[in-house]
Chains A and B, each alone.
Chain A
Amino acid sequence: DQQVKQNSPSLSVQEGRISILNCDYTNSMFDYFLWYKKYPAEGPTFLISISSIKDKNEDGRFTVFLNKSAKHLSLHIVPSQPGDSAVYFCAASGIRDDKIIFGKGTRLHILP
């Protein structure tokens, strides 16, 4: 049973436009959500997170939105840049003493 789902395996976006990556989850006990970015031959790096008490968190070009009633979160990247081409993983957990569950990832291609 996949508790964290990223239904789009890949996404192509024109440079300068907005990239929107989506993630759905099934476990209502999840309290904390994170996005990681992964380049080939490197480990994932943390991008941004959001706790369940918020519905939005911004960090520069990256904004994460959380819709708890729909069990859905999204990552917005504005404007998209060539260096944003990578695989993006959505992850979720309960607070503290809980394992992190990752989605299968979405490969983002930024087109020149």
Chain B
Amino acid sequence: KAGVTQTPRYLIKTRGQQVTLSCSPISGHRSVSWYQQTPGQGLQFLFEYFSETQRNKGNFPGRFSGRQFSNSRSEMNVSTLELGDSALYLCASSGDLAGGNEQFFGPGTRLTVL
């Protein structure tokens, strides 16, 4: 089985722009979660989608949004980028809801905001 893929792997944007990141889960997995990793902050939960519905949301501003398509692929959007949004964004999939289950992570998208 192919693993979780994320595109693009690297991205450079300027403040005020918006960005869309993409995640393709493992085939058959219905849950996709997004995390932000910054130095010293670990992995911070953004949101989880399951069967096209947002099931959980972390403590991030409304500039961060996401969606999931019928084929379970997911996109994450960040609008009005700020310098502090520079981070590694990780996507993870699991067969069932993430809680109580192992998640499979993609390699991440490294976003740099200048």
Chain A positions near chain B (C-beta within 8 angstroms): 6, 31-32, 34, 36, 41-46, 49, 51, 89, 91, 93-105
Chain B min CB distance to A105 (Å): 5
Chain A min CB distance to B106 (Å): 5
Chain A to chain B: the 5 pairs with minimum beta-carbon distance, closest first = A43-B105, A104-B42, A98-B99, A102-B43, A99-B56
Q: Contacting A95 at CB < 8 Å: which of B41, B99, B104?
A: B99
Chain A min CB distance to B95 (Å): 12
What's the A-B contact tally at a CB cutoff of 8 Å?
72
Q: Contacting A99 at CB < 8 Å: which of B99, B104, B107, B108?
A: B99
Q: Restricting to B1-55, which residues have a CB under 8 Å from any CB of A?
A: 4, 33, 35, 40-45, 48, 55
B81 CB–A CB distance under 8 Å: no
Q: Are A95 and B107 in contact (CB under 8 A)?
A: no
Which B residues are in CB contact (< 8 Å) with A44? 43, 90, 92, 105
Which A residues are in CB contact (< 8 Å) with B104? 46
Q: Restricting to B29-87, which residues have a CB under 8 Å from any CB of A?
A: 33, 35, 40-45, 48, 55-58
Q: Are A96 and B45 in contact (CB under 8 A)?
A: no
Query: Can you offer 12 A-B residue contacts whose CB atoms are under 8 A?
Result: A43-B92, A43-B106, A43-B107, A93-B100, A95-B100, A98-B99, A99-B58, A102-B35, A102-B44, A102-B45, A105-B42, A105-B43
Chain A min CB distance to B42 (Å): 4
Which A residues are in CB contact (< 8 Å) with B107? 41-43
Q: Contacting A93 at CB < 8 Å: which of B44, B98, B108?
A: B98
From A93, which residue of chain B is reached at the shortest CB distance?
B99
From A32, which residue of chain B is reached at the shortest CB distance?
B100
Instruction: Assess A104 versus B40: contact at CB under 8 Å? Given A99-B48, A99-B56.
Output: yes
Q: Are B98 and A100 in contact (CB under 8 A)?
A: yes
From A34, which residue of chain B is reached at the shortest CB distance?
B102
B103 CB–A CB distance under 8 Å: yes
Q: A43-B4, A99-B57, A103-B42 are in contact. List 7 more A-B contacts (CB 8 A).
A: A32-B99, A34-B102, A42-B107, A93-B98, A95-B100, A96-B99, A99-B99
